[in-house]
């Protein structure tokens, strides 16, 4: 089982796994071993067993199987089940277990699952979650259901969720949890420890830092919990505390992830514009953000928006068709270059055979440069202070690559068609187009970034368009001059 800062009530997980099953602990062990494959991914056979248990309406068996899974794996299981089977699974989870699982689910799947959960159960489950997870879930509810669920929640939790919802999506405010451990700056280590023992029930299940606050509740430092354990009781917090990196509520989550990664933060205090401590972000939330952001980049570079794991055929079509139609349009414009050289092609059909090579290889060279630039921008390795140097470096690379590819290809073409001028034309065209690819592949993302746009999105369309049309133009143009 895991340690999990997201889910305060670890022991409930233990309950879920132990309780409501007639199996001996040995049998439970076996099921747990069976549940996950060697790569820690859910075992297909286990999924089949769950489906089978549901088909046979064997509730007892279903509970045993679910009890053998960590909440994260139950969430994973949901991804492999159809909506009807999911509702069966949900029906056999108590609020605590549901709380654990809901916050693990992908948005689309969660929306589906939530339709099978009665208000009361959901309200209770939300109460079990950290505020950041509860907000995610409530955010997925349709307005009417959201109203009813919130109404069914205790005052304090409701207002906490409502005020978090007020922050924009993908900001620190949304990412943070309001459960945060703080102590006044005039306390000693001993006072703090005693206070924790007395107020144990008030504390979050898991925390890594005690934030030291001044009288206006502004964080002035942090004391890692492990430091409390190793420091003399009479030491004042103000003396043992470390400097903090404050995260403003409105900061973009990608920014937050960059800071966590750069400074190896485990947790950081989130502050209101006024500077008051309103919550904290922990590194395990950041791991998710980093996964999402890099996934966004991969998909964006491939010209596809994320339809979500659970999307149907039409959802996927919607996520891809727009880019393909745009590509169809740019391709059509690119080939109009060819139309201008119809006579040359009619005279020498070989041109039609070779031009896709020039365009294609240029396209690949452009994609390479683009991917590297996008990556460097994301990791802040590329910025104003070295943009020019990197740009010039890329052009050199492009010209060298082009020269090598050009020479290789002209030899090949000569051996193929025994036409010296043709092989010369191909060689030159490749040098030109691969160099252009380097220029475009660097300039496009740099420009988008300078304009405050995501350099990964739509760059490839520009680049392919440039390398296609320039590929045709350079090759056919040179051919017109050199050959005909």
Residue numbers 238-297 binding a second copy by CB under 8 A: 242-245, 255, 258-267, 283-284, 286-288, 290-291, 294-295, 297
Whole-number minimum distance, CB 39 to a second copy, in Å? 7
Give the Cβ contact number of residue 478 at 10 Å: 19
DSSP string, 130-143: -HHHHHHHHHHS-H
Round to whole Å and give the CA distance between 384 and 429.
32
Query: Does residue 207 touch a second copy according to CB under 8 A?
Result: yes
Does position 418 bind a second copy by CB under 8 A?
A: no
d(CA 331, CA 27): 61
Query: Among residues 24 and 385, whose Cβ is nearest to a second copy?
Result: 385
Which one of 126, 212, 228, 478 is in contact with a second copy (CB under 8 A)? 228
Site for a second copy in 296-315 (CB under 8 A): 297-299, 301-304, 307, 309, 313-314
Q: Which of residues 73-112 bind a second copy (CB under 8 A)?
A: 73, 76, 79-80
Looking at 118-126, 145-153, 172-180, 198-206, which segment touches a second copy (CB under 8 A)?
198-206
Instruction: State yes or no: residue 151 binds a second copy (CB under 8 A).
Output: no
Contact yes or no for 208/224 (Cβ under 8 A): yes
DSSP per residue, 219-277 = EEEEEEHHHHHHS-TTSBHHHH-B----EETTSBHHHHHHHHHHHT-SEEEEE-TT--E
Q: Is 370 in the site for a second copy (CB under 8 A)?
A: yes
Count of H-run helices and E-run strands, the chain: 24, 6
In this complex, which beta carbon is closest to a second copy, that of residue 80 or of residue 119? 80
Residues 431-470 that bind a second copy (CB under 8 A): 434, 464, 468
Residues from 381 through 410 that contact a second copy (CB under 8 A): 381, 383-386, 393-394, 396-397, 400-401, 404-405, 408-409
- Which two three-digit tokens encode residue 451? 């304009």
Is the sign of the CA dihedral 344, 349, 352, 355 positive or negative? Answer: negative
Using alpha carbons, select from 204, 201, 210, 202 the residue that is nearest to residue 177.
Answer: 204
Q: Given strand 247-248, what is the order of strands in its sheet?
A: 247-248, 267-271, 277-282
* Closest to 459 measured CA to CA, from 336, 382, 371, 381: 371
| Min CB(328)–a second copy separation in Å | 5
Asked whether position 128 contacts a second copy by CB under 8 A, the answer is: no
Least separation in angstroms between residue 197's CB and a second copy is: 7
Selected binder of a second copy within 48, 151, 166, 481 (CB under 8 A) = 48
Q: How far is the CB of 287 from a second copy (least distance, A)?
A: 5
Nearest to 426 by CA among 412, 445, 442: 412
Residue 468: helix, strand or coil by DSSP? helix
Interaction with a second copy in 317-346: which residues (CB under 8 A)?
Answer: 317, 320-321, 323-325, 327-328, 331-332, 334-336, 338-339, 342, 345-346
**415 lines the binding site for a second copy (CB under 8 A):** no
Task: Tell me which residue of 463, 472, 460 sits closest to 359, measured CA to CA.
Answer: 472
Please count the other Cβ atoms lying within 10 Å of the Cβ belonging to residue 459. Answer: 29
Decide whether 18 or 166 has the Cβ nearer to a second copy: 18
Closer Cβ to a second copy, 10 or 94, answer by number: 10
**Hey, what are 292's tokens?**
């999402």
Q: Site for a second copy (CB under 8 A): which residue of 41, 120, 147, 151? A: 41
Of the listed pieces 61-69, 110-118, 138-146, 192-200, which binds a second copy according to CB under 8 A? 192-200
424 binds a second copy (CB under 8 A): no
90 or 307: CB nearest a second copy: 307
Between strands 209-213 and 182-184, the pairing is parallel
Nearest distance, CB of residue 249 and a second copy, angstroms:
16
The Cα–Cα gap between 54 and 135 comes to 31
Among 23, 28, 203, 238, binds a second copy (CB under 8 A): 203
Whose Cβ is closer to a second copy: residue 276's or residue 393's?
393
Q: Which of 481, 478, 470 is nearest to 433 (CA)?
A: 470
Whichever of 278 and 456 has its CB closer to a second copy, that residue is 456
The answer to whether residues 359 and 471 touch, using CB atoms and an 8 Å cutoff, is: yes
Candidates 10, 139, 162, 272: give the one binding a second copy (CB under 8 A).
10
**Which is closer to a second copy, CB of 149 or CB of 355?**
355
């Amino acid at each position: 089982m895991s340690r999990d800062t997201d889910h305060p009530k670890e022991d409930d997980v233990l309950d879920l796994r132990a309780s409501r099953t007639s199996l001996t602990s040995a049998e439970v062990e076996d099921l747990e071993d069976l549940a996950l494959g060697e790569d820690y991914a859910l075992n297909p056979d286990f999924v089949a067993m769950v489906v089978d248990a549901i088909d046979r309406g064997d509730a007892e068996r279903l509970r045993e199987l679910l009890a053998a899974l960590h909440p994260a794996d139950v969430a994973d299981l949901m991804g492999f089940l159809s909506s009807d089977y999911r509702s069966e699974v949900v029906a056999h989870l108590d609020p605590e277990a549901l709380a654990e699982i809901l916050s693990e689910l992908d948005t689309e799947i969660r929306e589906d699952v939530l339709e099978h959960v009665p208000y009361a159960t959901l309200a209770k489950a939300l109460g079990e979650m950290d505020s950041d997870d509860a907000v995610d879930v409530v955010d997925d509810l349709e307005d009417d259901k959201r109203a009813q669920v919130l109404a069914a929640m205790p005052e304090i939790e409701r207002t906490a969720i409502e005020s978090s919802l007020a922050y924009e999506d993908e900001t620190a405010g949304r990412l943070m949890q309001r459960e945060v451990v703080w102590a006044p700056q005039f306390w000693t280590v001993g006072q703090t420890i005693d206070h924790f023992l007395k107020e144990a029930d008030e504390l979050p299940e898991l925390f890594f830092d005690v934030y030291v606050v001044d009288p206006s509740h502004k964080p002035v430092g942090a004391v890692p919990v492990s430091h409390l354990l190793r420091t003399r009781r009479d030491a004042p917090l103000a003396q043992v505390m470390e400097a903090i990196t404050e995260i403003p509520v409105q900061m973009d989550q990608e920014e937050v992830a960059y800071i966590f990664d750069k400074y190896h933060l485990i947790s950081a205090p989130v502050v209101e514009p006024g500077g008051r401590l309103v919550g904290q972000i922990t590194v395990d939330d950041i791991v998710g953000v980093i996964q999402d952001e890099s996934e966004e980049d991969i998909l964006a570079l491939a010209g596809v928006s994320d339809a979500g794991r659970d999307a149907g055929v039409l959802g996927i079509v919607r996520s891809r068709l727009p880019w393909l139609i745009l590509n169809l349009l740019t391709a059509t414009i690119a080939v109009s270059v060819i139309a201008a050289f119809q006579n040359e092609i009619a005279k020498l059909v070989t041109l039609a055979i070779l031009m896709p090579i020039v365009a294609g290889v240029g396209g690949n060279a452009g994609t390479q440069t683009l991917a590297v630039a996008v990556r460097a921008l994301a990791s802040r390795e590329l910025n104003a202070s070295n943009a020019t140097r990197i740009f010039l470096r890329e052009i050199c690379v492009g010209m060298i690559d082009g020269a090598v590819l050009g020479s290789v290809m002209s030899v090949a073409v000569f051996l193929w068609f025994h036409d010296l001028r043709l092989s010369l034309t191909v060689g030159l065209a490749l040098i030109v187009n691969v160099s252009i690819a380097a220029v475009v592949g660097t300039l496009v993302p740099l420009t988008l970034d300078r304009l405050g746009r995501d350099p990964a999105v739509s760059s490839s369309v520009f680049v392919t368009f440039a390398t296609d049309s320039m590929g045709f133009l350079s090759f056919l143009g040179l051919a017109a001059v050199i050959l005909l």
